Amino acid sequence: MSLNPRLTAALCVALSLCALLAVPGNFPGLGGDARVTLAVFALATCAWIGTPIDDTYIALGAGLALTVTGVISSDTLFGTLGDSTVWLLICAFVLAAAVARTGLAGRAATFLVGGARTVRQLTHLTTAALVVTAFAVPATSGRAALALPVFLALAKALADRRRLVVMLALLFPTVILLSAVATLIGAGAHLITVSVLWEAAGERVGFTEWLLLGLPLAVASSHLAAEVVLFTTTRRADREGPVHITAEEIQRHSDRPVTGPWTQAEKRCALLLATVVALWCSEPLHRVPPAVVALIGAIVAASPALGTVRLKDALKTVPWSLLLFMAATMAMGVALGASGAAQWLVGGLPEGVTPVMFLAVVVAVSTAAHLVLQSRSARSSVLVPLVVAAAVGAGVNPVAAALASTAAAGFCHTLPASAKPVTLFADIPGTPTYTPRDLLRLSAVLAPLTAALVLLFAVAVWPLLGVPVTR
C-alpha cells in the first residue's frame, strides 16, 4: 500500500526533527522539557498537515503526551476546559440556537436585501447583513449554515442571471470568513489568541477591546472583498441590470415568517440578544466578564418562561469537538512558553528588523498558512505562541502582532477545502456555484489586498485605538 506523498513528507520532517532533538549535543541551551515540547509540537503540526486524522484527536494526544512527560501538569491540561473563553463560546452557541429557532435571521435578510435595486447595492447590503451575523452566531460554519437558505432564495430570484448567482455563492463564504474578526466569538482561533496572549505575555484582551479593533477591519475587508468578488466573477453587462428581491421569494426558503407582526418569542429573543451584545460592549463600565454575561443570556434563552429553545436542544448545537481542540491547544501553548521552547525558537531572529518589517512577515506567513494548515484554530495554535514570543524579542507589541496574525489567518479562500463555509457553498445541488478556478482567480487578487489591509490597520489604525506597534 503506497502512502500519500503529503503524509510521507510530513512524517519524514517530523521524525527528522525528533531525531535531532533526541541528541543531547544538538541545540545547546535547549532544556529537556523544551526538547520534548518541540518534538510533540512538530509531530502534532505534521499530523495536522499530512494526515486525515481528526484535528481534535491530534491535539488531545499532544496534550496528553506533554502531561505524561511532565512538561505540564494534569491541572494545566484539564484546567483549560474551565477557561472563561470556553464558557463564553458554549453560552454563545446556546444564544445562537435561540436566535435560529425564532427566524430573526430571515426577517433581517428581508429587511436589508429587499431594499436593493442594483447589483452593487445587493452585493453590499448582503455583505452588511453577513457582517452583522458575527454578533449573533459564533463560528463561521454556523453562520454559513444560517445564511444558506437566504442564498438559495436569492439564487432562485436571480435564476435567469447565472453569473450573479455564482457571484453571490462566492460572496457569502468570503464575507463570512473575513468578517469573523469583528468579534471575539467570531472564531475559535480568536479565543486561542486571547488565551495565548494572557498566558505568554500577561496581556488581557476582552470582548470590548477586540470589538474596537476588529470591527473596523471586518467592515473594511468585507466590503473590499465584495468589490473584488463582484469584479472577478461578473461582467459589466451583468452588473448593469436592475434587481428586485421580494419578501415572498425569501419566504419560500424559510420555515418561519419573514414579514408581518413579530411574535412574542421573536420580540423576547431580539431584546435578549441586543441586551447581551450591549453588556458585552459596555464591559468597562459594569466590569461583568463577558462569559458571565453570556451565561446569564444563555440561561434566560433556555428558561421555560422566557426562552425560545430547550437547553438540551441548544447544547446539541455546541461544537464540543472544537472546544476540546481549543482546550488542548491552549495547553500546548502553555507548554511552549513555560518550557522555554518558544523563546528558543525565536532566539535566532536577525537583528535590525524594524517593527513594520516584522509585522509584514507575520501577516504574509499567516495569510499563506491556510495552504498548509486547513484548520483556522490549528493555524492560530501553531503561529500565535511563536509570534508572541518573537514580538517580545523584537520589541513589537505582542497584542498588535497576535491580532495581525489572527486576522491575516482568516483568509482561507484558495481551495474548496480551505474552510468549511467555502466547502459548503461550493457544492449546492441544483444551484450554479463557483469552481476551483474561480477561487484561484479571487485569491490571486484578494490575498495581497487583505494582507496589505491588515498590515495597514496594525501600523496606522490600531495605534490610534490604543494598541501601538512597539511596546
Please give the pLDDT value at position 135: 80
Angle at which helices 84-102 and 320-338 cross, to 10°: 160
Please give the pLDDT value at position 5: 67
With H, G, I as helix, E, B as strand and everything else as coil, classify residue 421: helix
CA gap 466, 471 in Å, rounded:
11
Count the neighbouring beta carbons within 10 Å of the beta carbon of residue 281. 17
Q: How confident is the model at residue 222 (pLDDT cuts 50, 70, 90)?
A: very high
Q: How confident is the model at residue 1 (pLDDT cuts 50, 70, 90)?
A: very low
Query: Angle at the Cα of 32 (from 26 to 38), degrees rounded to 5?
Result: 75
How many angstroms from the chain centroid is the CA of residue 124? Answer: 21
How many angstroms from the chain centroid is the CA of residue 294? Answer: 19
Domain ranges across the chain:
1-71, 72-465
Q: Which three cell numbers stand for residue 385?
A: 505562541
Q: What is the pTM of this model?
A: 0.82
Q: 275: which residues sit within 8 A by CB, 6+ positions away?
A: 297
User: Which among 431, 352, 369 has a CA at the least distance from the CA of 162?
Assistant: 431
pLDDT by residue (tens digit) across 9-65?
A: 666 776 777 777 776 666 666 777 888 888 888 888 888 777 778 888 888 998 899
Residue 287 buriedness (CB in 10 A; 0-12 / 13-18 / 19+): exposed
With H, G, I as helix, E, B as strand and everything else as coil, classify residue 262: coil
